[in-house]
Structure formats: structure tokens, C-alpha cells
């Protein structure tokens, strides 16, 4: 290492003047001035030390940069979170009464109107409707015997269909039958109509040929509540058949009796002719009696009051 004396400006080799080294300084052999050792802390040694430190720092920075790059380029491992489970804390339930809520006071509300009541027609209205409708769709004729019976049966059937209890009546509304006996009533019955039951104590009659309803208390209404009543069409048809037969044979018996009185009583007749006529009269009288007896099965159904 070369050294320069600051005083005389002479350069020396450090090894050559090593023997003069004392307290870290060399002694110039020329002028005797002390020369600082370059390895000691001196102004000239500073640049060398700084350069050394700079070099070390640069190397450190390079190493740090490389490691950082390697760390950043390495795929990051997913971090698995650690869940610490703790037993739930069970708090015993306590009864808390529900808060008392006051009901809202409704404003003056308009009452709901009730649905209109469905008026159910009473039995009398149903009867009047049936009678009027039947009269509009049917025509009564005097041709034929007891044609009114068929009309009465039709109306009776409609009343029964509508749940109204009714009877078919046979009798004579043009006469006061109160004083008659049953045989007279049976033989002189010439009309049929219907009597409907409105209640246990009320009745109404239907004149089917005219489509009118007769109630008790009306003028001449009593005749419609007297006669012979029948529960079914079959009963009045049987009665009508027996009535017709009784009237026929009894009429024949009467004509024979009339002819006897006019042509045999007090007249000269052969005995065999008288006997034959008497026998004929007796037979007809018996036939008349028998048919009238058959009509007796309806006697309990007769109403005279």
C-alpha cells in the first residue's frame, strides 16, 4: 500500500516504513512528519468503508427482491378458518304474559241488512193457482156422463203432488142433501169436485169445471162440503160404476112396475102372461136391490151435515 506524506509530498510503501508505525501513525523518514495508517479511521479510509457498506446493502436488497418475487408468484394456500364450537347456553324459558290489547272501538257501523225473506206460498195460494191454471187449459163439456169426474181426478192429483191432502167428492151441489138417505144420495149424485185440507180444522173446495175455490162461509158453499168423499180415483171410479148399474136396473124395475100398473092391473090378461110379467118385475127389483147393496160399502163415507 502506498502512503503519501502530507508535508513533503513524498510517497512511501507502507511496508517500507512499517518500522516507524507508532500509535497507528507512520513517521516520514524524510521530514519526520507522522503519516496516518490508512486502515485506521481517517478521512481517506472513509470512502472505502462506505463503498463496502453500499455493496453489502445492494446485495441485501437483491436477495430481498428475489425472495419477495418468489413469495408473490407462489400460489397462496387457502386458509382454512378454524371454527371454535361452544356449547349453546340454554336459558330456561320464563312465562311472560301477553300484553293486554284493547279492542278497537268500532265506529258507528251500519247494521247488515238481512237477506229478503223468501215468502213460501201457503196451501190456499197453491190451491188457487192450480185451480186457475187448470181452468185455463181445460174445457168442460156436457157431452158424456159424469165428465166432471175426470177433471176432479186431474186436480186431485196435482194437489197430492204438491203435498196437499185432498179428497175427491161425489154428490149433488144443486140439492139440499141433508134430508136424504144414503141410497138417494148415491143414486142422485151427478157431480164430482175436490176438497183440500188446509189445516186440521180448515178445508177448501175446488170446483174444477169452473176453476174456482170455495171456502166455508161463502154463499152456497155448504153444498160442496156434503156428499161422499173418496181417498183415491180408483174408489170413486168403482162407486161411479156401481151407481150407473144401480140406476140402470132400478130404472128398468120402475118401468116394469109402471107398465104393470097401466096395462095389467084391472085388465084381462092370460094367466101365463101375468105370471111372466110378475117374475120379470121381481127379478128387476132384486137386481136393483143388489146393486144398491153393493153401494153400501161407501155409506160410511157419506157426509150429510
227 sits in which H/E element:
strand 227-230
Please report the pLDDT score of residue 170 as a whole number.
96
Q: What is the pLDDT of residues 12-38, one digit of tens each?
A: 777 777 777 777 787 888 788 888 877
Q: Does pTM top 0.95 for this prediction? A: no
Please give the C-alpha separations between residue 113 and each of 109, 116, 117, in angstroms, as whole numbers.
12, 9, 11
The yes-or-no verdict on residue 204 having pLDDT over 50 is yes
Total number of residues shown for the chain:
305
The yes-or-no verdict on residue 222 having pLDDT over 90 is yes
SS3 (DSSP) at 52: helix
Q: 100-104, 127-131, 243-247, 253-257: which range is least confident on average? A: 100-104
Q: 86-100, 109-123, 213-227, 260-274: which range is least confident on average? A: 86-100
SS3 (DSSP) at 199: strand
Helices marked H in the chain? 46-73, 123-137, 148-161, 182-187, 233-263, 271-295
Please report the pLDDT score of residue 88 as a whole number.
52
Q: Which of 20, 18, 50 is nearest to 33 (CA)?
A: 20
Please give the C-alpha separations between residue 145 and each of 188, 206, 241, 284, in angstroms, as whole numbers.
13, 20, 11, 23
The yes-or-no verdict on residue 45 having pLDDT over 50 is no
Please report the pLDDT score of residue 128 as a whole number.
96
The yes-or-no verdict on residue 83 having pLDDT over 50 is no
Q: Which of 17, 44, 45, 14 is nearest to 31 (CA)?
A: 17
Find the mean pLDDT for residues 151-177. 96
Query: Is residue 194 a contact partner of residue 150, using CB atoms and an 8 Å limit?
Result: no
The yes-or-no verdict on residue 146 having pLDDT over 80 is no
pLDDT above 70 coverage of the chain, percent? 78
Q: For residue 199, what are the β-bridge partners?
A: 202
Please report the pLDDT score of residue 9 as a whole number.
78
Please report the pLDDT score of residue 240 as a whole number.
94
Alpha-carbon distance 169 to 210, whole Å?
Answer: 16
The yes-or-no verdict on residue 87 having pLDDT over 70 is no
The yes-or-no verdict on residue 3 having pLDDT over 80 is no
**How would you classify residue 23: left for phi > 0, otherwise alpha for psi between -120 and 50, otherwise beta?**
left
Q: What is the pLDDT of residues 168-187, one digit of tens each?
A: 999 999 999 999 999 999 99
Please report the pLDDT score of residue 76 as a whole number.
53
Please report the pLDDT score of residue 256 as a whole number.
95
Residue 44: pLDDT band by 50, 70, 90 thresholds? very low
Please report the pLDDT score of residue 8 as a whole number.
84
Comparing 60 with 156, the larger pLDDT belongs to: 156
Look up residue 28 and give its three cell numbers: 516520514
Task: Name the DSSP letter for residue 91.
Answer: P
Average pLDDT, the chain: 83
N-terminal to C-terminal alpha carbon distance within the chain: 177
Alpha-carbon distance 281 to 257, whole Å?
Answer: 7
Please give the C-alpha separations between residue 292 and each of 143, 171, 187, in angstroms, as whole numbers.
26, 16, 9
Amino acid at each position: 500500500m502506498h502512503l503519501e506524506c502530507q508535508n513533503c509530498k513524498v510517497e512511501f510503501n507502507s511496508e517500507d516504513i512499517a518500522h516507524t508505525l507508532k500509535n497507528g501513525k507512520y513517521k516520514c523518514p524524510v521530514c519526520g512528519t507522522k503519516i496516518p495508517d490508512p486502515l485506521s479511521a481517517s478521512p481517506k479510509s472513509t470512502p472505502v468503508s462506505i463503498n463496502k457498506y453500499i455493496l453489502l446493502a445492494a446485495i441485501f436488497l437483491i436477495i430481498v427482491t428475489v425472495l419477495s418475487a418468489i413469495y408473490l408468484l407462489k400460489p397462496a394456500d387457502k386458509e382454512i378458518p378454524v371454527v371454535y364450537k361452544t356449547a349453546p347456553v340454554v336459558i330456561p324459558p320464563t312465562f311472560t304474559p301477553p300484553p293486554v290489547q284493547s279492542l278497537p272501538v268500532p265506529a258507528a257501523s251500519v247494521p247488515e241488512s238481512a237477506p229478503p225473506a223468501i215468502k213460501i206460498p201457503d196451501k190456499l195460494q197453491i190451491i188457487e193457482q192450480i185451480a186457475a191454471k187448470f181452468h185455463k187449459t181445460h174445457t168442460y163439456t156436457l157431452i158424456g156422463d159424469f165428465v166432471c169426474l175426470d177433471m176432479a181426478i186431474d186436480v186431485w192429483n196435482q194437489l197430492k203432488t204438491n203435498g196437499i191432502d185432498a179428497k175427491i167428492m161425489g154428490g149433488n151441489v144443486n140439492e139440499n142433501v141433508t134430508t136424504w138417505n144414503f141410497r138417494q144420495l148415491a143414486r142422485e149424485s151427478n157431480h164430482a169436485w175436490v176438497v183440500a185440507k188446509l189445516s186440521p180444522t180448515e178445508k177448501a173446495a175446488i170446483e174444477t169445471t169452473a176453476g174456482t175455490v170455495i171456502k166455508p162461509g161463502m154463499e152456497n158453499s155448504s153444498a160442496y162440503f156434503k156428499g161422499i168423499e173418496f181417498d183415491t180415483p180408483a174408489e170413486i171410479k168403482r162407486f161411479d160404476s156401481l151407481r150407473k148399474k144401480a140406476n140402470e136396473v132400478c130404472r128398468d124395475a120402475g118401468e116394469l112396475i109402471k107398465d104393470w100398473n097401466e096395462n095389467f092391473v084391472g085388465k084381462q090378461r092370460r094367466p101365463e102372461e101375468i105370471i111372466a110379467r110378475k117374475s120379470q118385475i121381481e127379478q128387476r127389483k132384486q137386481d136393483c136391490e143388489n146393486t144398491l147393496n153393493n153401494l153400501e160399502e161407501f155409506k160410511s163415507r157419506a157426509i150429510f151435515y
